[in-house]
Chains A and B, each alone.
Chain A
């Protein structure tokens, strides 16, 4: 089974801190994604990457950046954390259907609180 591992389950950070959320997948998937989930707003795509060093903005990229230096690792960076970035963050990976992909696999999530 594909495993997507997020480094922290719970995280508390102070306003203005630089925050790194790490995600690692172990099945050589090309595509990796970061979502956030908020009550009433659902799941929203922040950034994704379809190859090493490649990144694409999702629906809500403001206040975030990403890094993909190795195929298996995709990092989400909050340059200067703010309270409105308190959320559940979910990482996912996938293979395209034409490469035998059978959908997205999600990590267990990181609950980030910014105080």
Chain B
């Protein structure tokens, strides 16, 4: 099956710093999402981004599908950004589904 690798596994930053999280995947995909898992365990969808660039406030994401990687940028970090960030992909085209394959996540800690 498809492999998803995220880096770095852990990241500790001071409040106000910028960060870049990377996701590499081993095959072409039709779905790529970035999630933030909050302290209560819920997965919050940040971006649906199988290709291209999107921005939402201090967060932005870029997926270069031809080179099989995606980047999540967090600018001006706040303590509430702490948590685990997951990249997840799916390969199925057309109807139905295969389920998302998740990377192991990046554990981000923002210190005040």
Contact = CB atoms under 8 A, between A and B. Distances in A.
Interface of A: 30-31, 33, 37, 42-43, 45, 48, 50, 58, 88, 90, 92, 94, 96-99, 102-109, 111
Contact of A42 (B33, B95, B96, B105): B105
B95 A99 contact: yes
B41 A109 contact: yes
8 contacts: A33-B97, A33-B99, A43-B88, A45-B100, A90-B41, A96-B96, A98-B93, A103-B31
Interface of B: 30-31, 33, 35, 40-43, 45, 48, 50, 86, 88, 92-97, 99-100, 102-105
Contact of B97 (A48, A88, A102, A106): A48
Contacts of A92: 43, 100
A58 B98 CA distance: 8
Nearest to A59: B99
A96 B35 CA distance: 19
Nearest to A111: B41
Residue in B45, B93, B94 with the greatest tally of chain A CB atoms within 10 Å: B45
